[in-house]
Chains A and B, each alone.
Chain A
Amino acid sequence: MLPEIGQFTLILACILSFLQMVYPLYGVQTGHQGAIRSARILTILQFIAVASSFAILAYSFLINDFTVGYIATNSNSAMPWYFRLSAVWGAHEGSLLLWVFLLAGWSIAVALMSKRLPIESVARVLAVLGLLSFGFYLFVILTSNPFERTLPYFPIDGRDLNPLLQDFGLVIHPPMLYMGYVGFSVAFAFAIAALLEGRLDSAWAKWSRPWTMAAWMFLTVGIALGSWWAYYELGWGGWWFWDPVENASFMPWLAGTALIHSLAVSEKRGVFKSWTVLLALSAFSLSLLGTFLVRSGVLVSVHAFASDPTRGLFILGFLVLVIGGSLLLYAIQASKVKSRGRYELASRESMLLINNILLIAALIVVLLGTLLPLVHKEIGLGSISIGEPFFNRMFTILIVPFALFLGVGSLFRWKRQQLNDLKKPLTLILILSVLSTVLFLFIFAPFLTWLAVLGTFLGFWIIVAVAYEIYLRSTHRHAFSKGVMKLGNSHWAMSFGHLGLAVMIIGITMTQNFSIEKDIKLAVGDHITFEHYDFHFDQVKPLNGPNYTGSVGIFTVKQDQKQIAVMHAEKRIYTVQRMPMTEAAIDAGITRDLYIAMGEQLPDGAWAVRIYYKPFIRWIWLGPLIMAFGGLLMICDRRYRSKKENGNESVPTTEKEGAQNA
């Protein structure tokens, strides 16, 4: 009975989202106050409906209701409860339900937390979100219903979740990533609403900024989690593969990063407005494109689980409608947007423009590398693959100007910067960053490569520039200790965001240049020594888990004759799907990871073993976390929070600017 109720509430949510799209728009058009106010109520009702569906599916997973086809194929009664719960989004149908649930979550957040916005604007934004929800509800209900029953012949037990996904990483990675993907729909809805209204002003940028930042933050954490998960779970120690699905999440991130910077310019200086709108449209369109690529099965990838052509066609149609429609609207309305501000070539505006150009260049590289194989195949030239070296080389080239300008950029003033004034600080930054690079490499690098020097220098260039900029701003009017307390959250947000990137650049540089990877044959009792580490293969024990068996290899690791770790590398066989899985043993540290993964057992009883030494790999994920923390600081900035000040202040400006634009 319950699954039917879940299906019913899902259909109910679909109908409500349709009303949420139509009614407020009608109200705005005719000035019908009741219809305008209905937007909030409909959004709340829609959220309640889809939340019930989601809760029911989750509950059905927990009680092992294998009469539901989706649960029977993706769960098993032997799985622990938390994996049964995360199995809700372990495959196509459920992950789409998660998608619509989160979309409703963002919608209700907009409905409840935008009390200070003009009610018409909120109505328009919610109507656009309603349209997006409606499209996805139709998709779920028509092509991927998670509540479909297997009655009357239902299995006694489920076919188990793909063992790769039975992991803590999967419990949090998809929700985070989806929060980011879906979150860009809010920025999208704000942009469309502004276009419909024909009014794009600083107030618009100001409203849309914290929402965009929130989505970007989730996406950053989501991608970092995915990378971390791939590192420890896939068993070969890589952290980024330029897999098409990773690229699909990286593209909205690049567009989103460009967007948060461009929004800052639009809010503060009133320029770049139409460009910002275009970015807002692109960020969400790229999220949709990502969904299409992943869900339609056109991609060959670890993540591609669905290859039902109707699904692909549906998303493609929706994609064309949303992207085409929004671009059409943009083409018609964008000419009305006028940027009022003036700025010189040497100014912070220009620096942020360079930031945007480089990010978009990176975006185009990823887009090209992801879509070209598809195009190549479709036009009959045969299948191709574009290797990691392509992306690695392109990003190595792009990061150099990006990091250099980033370090300088925050020292520039808005509007106009005397270049002569920058000579002294830049020389100082250069000297300090070169010194730090030399010191750092002297301590941590076993040998030197050009790329290592370059990468470390870029990282320290940013770090020193950030520190120097904080020092400058703090001592502008006060003594340092007093001034540093007076810096606003937004300022700290910027500093942390940039610092995060620097940490990540250093992590990537060290990992890529100084990792040691040994794939070797080891029998019990053998040992191997490198980098002052001695790995001794002690024994192999049998392994018995709740839904798997296997063997565990035990290694003692000594550094300079001192025991530092005992590592357990597992080789599991999941009993239901008969699928082997490697659980790597990782001894994590801030300056290095030791990584052991069991390969196969060879005919003579010895094992193929991967033993890796990965310096600074943790920094690759620490960086994004710092960036996300910066994002959090910005959202908490007082000017987005306190209702009183802003409510009074923003209304007159919007009216004035609205009049100017009209």
Chain B
Amino acid sequence: MNPRRKKRLLITSSLIAGLSLAIGLTLYALQQNIDLFYTPNEILNGKNETGAKPEIGQRLRIGGMVLNGSVQRDPESLKVSFDLIDNKAGQVTVYFDGILPDLFREGQGIVAQGVLKSENAIDAFEVLAKHDEEYMPPEVADALKGMEHLKTESELAK
């Protein structure tokens, strides 16, 4: 082989090796960090699209509306729990230890990220309520479609 070809072969093969290593690592990292989104009903009865139920211990995201009167606080710490509901029969309890976002209210759509603790309970490490009152993640909006008290004040005012 002449030196030029040798150089090319070296460059090409190192590129391919690097690329496949990168893709392998990426897929591996991805596998561990993809969180599926569920509605409360899907947690109990399996996903609408595939029918798969989440396993206990699985990391996931859940979106739904905070049930009125379900927020319970621990008097000593920042521990709090509340129930999330959707437009079907789902109802799931979320446990959280930390500061709830400014826009967290009963009757408001929220998203929580956490680990499934039991069939209908989630240990959340993050609770998100979106910054704009009128704005709601499309998944949550879908899950709440047709529910009475979903409408926010500003929408009612219009």
Whether A associates with B in a native complex is: yes
Contact of A577 among B15, B75, B104, B133 (CB under 8 A): B133
- Is B138 a contact partner of A300 (Cβ separation < 8 A)? yes
- Is B26 a contact partner of A368 (Cβ separation < 8 A)? yes
Asked whether A397 is an interface residue with its Cβ less than 8 Å from the other chain, the reply is yes
Asked whether A481 is an interface residue with its Cβ less than 8 Å from the other chain, the reply is no
Bound state CA distance, A147 and B73, in angstroms?
49
Asked whether B147 is an interface residue with its Cβ less than 8 Å from the other chain, the reply is no
B15's nearest neighbour on chain A, judged by CB, is A357
CB-defined contacts of A387 to chain B, threshold 8 Å? 33-35, 113
| A582 to B: closest C-beta gap in Å | 6
CB-defined contacts of A382 to chain B, threshold 8 Å? 36-37, 47-50
B74's nearest neighbour on chain A, judged by CB, is A521
With A300-B137, A521-B78 already in contact, the answer to whether A385 and B73 are too (CB < 8 A) is no
- Is B37 a contact partner of A383 (Cβ separation < 8 A)? yes
Residue from the set B26, B35, B77, B97 with the largest chain A CB neighbour count within 10 Å: B26
Residue tally, chain B, CB below 8 Å to A: 44
- Is A389 a contact partner of B73 (Cβ separation < 8 A)? no
Asked whether A393 is an interface residue with its Cβ less than 8 Å from the other chain, the reply is yes
CB-defined contacts of B57 to chain A, threshold 8 Å? none
Bound state CA distance, A75 and B100, in angstroms?
28
CB-defined contacts of B35 to chain A, threshold 8 Å? 384-387
A to B CB contacts below 8 Å, 25 in the list:
A162-B131, A300-B137, A344-B7, A357-B18, A380-B49, A382-B47, A383-B37, A383-B61, A384-B35, A384-B37, A385-B34, A385-B61, A386-B30, A389-B32, A394-B29, A519-B97, A577-B133, A577-B154, A578-B133, A578-B153, A579-B102, A599-B78, A599-B100, A600-B100, A604-B75
Contact with A along B26-53 (1 / 0, CB 8 A): 1001101111110000000001111000
With A300-B137, A582-B102, A602-B73 already in contact, the answer to whether A386 and B33 are too (CB < 8 A) is yes
Which secondary structure characterizes the binding site on chain B? mixed
Bound state CA distance, A387 and B15, in angstroms?
28
Asked whether A361 is an interface residue with its Cβ less than 8 Å from the other chain, the reply is yes
Asked whether A494 is an interface residue with its Cβ less than 8 Å from the other chain, the reply is no
Bound state CA distance, A604 and B76, in angstroms?
10
| B29 to A: closest C-beta gap in Å | 5
- Is B34 a contact partner of A600 (Cβ separation < 8 A)? no
Asked whether B139 is an interface residue with its Cβ less than 8 Å from the other chain, the reply is yes
Q: Of residues 295 to 313 in A, which have CB atoms within 8 Å of B's CB atoms?
A: 300, 302, 304-305
State the A residues within 8 Å of B (CB): 162, 164, 235, 300, 302, 304-305, 344-345, 357, 361, 364-365, 368-369, 372, 380-387, 389-390, 393-394, 397, 519-521, 577-582, 599-600, 602-604, 608-610
| A613 to B: closest C-beta gap in Å | 17
- Is A610 a contact partner of B99 (Cβ separation < 8 A)? yes
CB-defined contacts of B25 to chain A, threshold 8 Å? 394, 397
The 7 A-B pairs with the shortest beta carbon distances in the complex, nearest first, are A599-B99, A383-B37, A390-B33, A580-B102, A387-B33, A608-B99, A519-B98
A165's nearest neighbour on chain B, judged by CB, is B131
A572's nearest neighbour on chain B, judged by CB, is B102
| A458 to B: closest C-beta gap in Å | 18
| B21 to A: closest C-beta gap in Å | 10
| A226 to B: closest C-beta gap in Å | 15
A385's nearest neighbour on chain B, judged by CB, is B35
Q: 9 more A-B contacts (CB under 8 A) besides A162-B132, A394-B25, A608-B99?
A: A300-B137, A302-B130, A345-B7, A357-B15, A368-B26, A382-B48, A384-B35, A390-B34, A604-B75
Q: Of residues 121 to 154 in B, which have CB atoms within 8 Å of A's CB atoms?
A: 130-133, 135, 137-139, 153-154
CB-defined contacts of A368 to chain B, threshold 8 Å? 26, 30
Residue from the set B30, B50, B98, B130 with the largest chain A CB neighbour count within 10 Å: B30
CB-defined contacts of B30 to chain A, threshold 8 Å? 368-369, 372, 386, 390
Bound state CA distance, A162 and B102, in angstroms?
14
A381's nearest neighbour on chain B, judged by CB, is B49
CB-defined contacts of B98 to chain A, threshold 8 Å? 519
| B99 to A: closest C-beta gap in Å | 4
- Is A580 a contact partner of B78 (Cβ separation < 8 A)? no
Asked whether B56 is an interface residue with its Cβ less than 8 Å from the other chain, the reply is no
CB-defined contacts of B10 to chain A, threshold 8 Å? 345
CB-defined contacts of B50 to chain A, threshold 8 Å? 381-382
| A1 to B: closest C-beta gap in Å | 29
Bound state CA distance, A108 and B158, in angstroms?
44
Bound state CA distance, A662 and B49, in angstroms?
57
CB-defined contacts of B138 to chain A, threshold 8 Å? 300
CB-defined contacts of A389 to chain B, threshold 8 Å? 29, 32-33
Q: Of residues 5 to 24 in B, which have CB atoms within 8 Å of A's CB atoms?
A: 7, 10-11, 15, 18, 22
A372's nearest neighbour on chain B, judged by CB, is B30
CB-defined contacts of A386 to chain B, threshold 8 Å? 30, 33-35
| A91 to B: closest C-beta gap in Å | 11
Residue from the set A364, A385, A397 with the largest chain B CB neighbour count within 10 Å: A385
Contact of B22 among A162, A361, A577, A581 (CB under 8 A): A361
- Is A383 a contact partner of B36 (Cβ separation < 8 A)? yes
Bound state CA distance, A300 and B128, in angstroms?
12
CB-defined contacts of B77 to chain A, threshold 8 Å? 521
- Is A385 a contact partner of B131 (Cβ separation < 8 A)? no
CB-defined contacts of B104 to chain A, threshold 8 Å? 600
Bound state CA distance, A136 and B86, in angstroms?
41
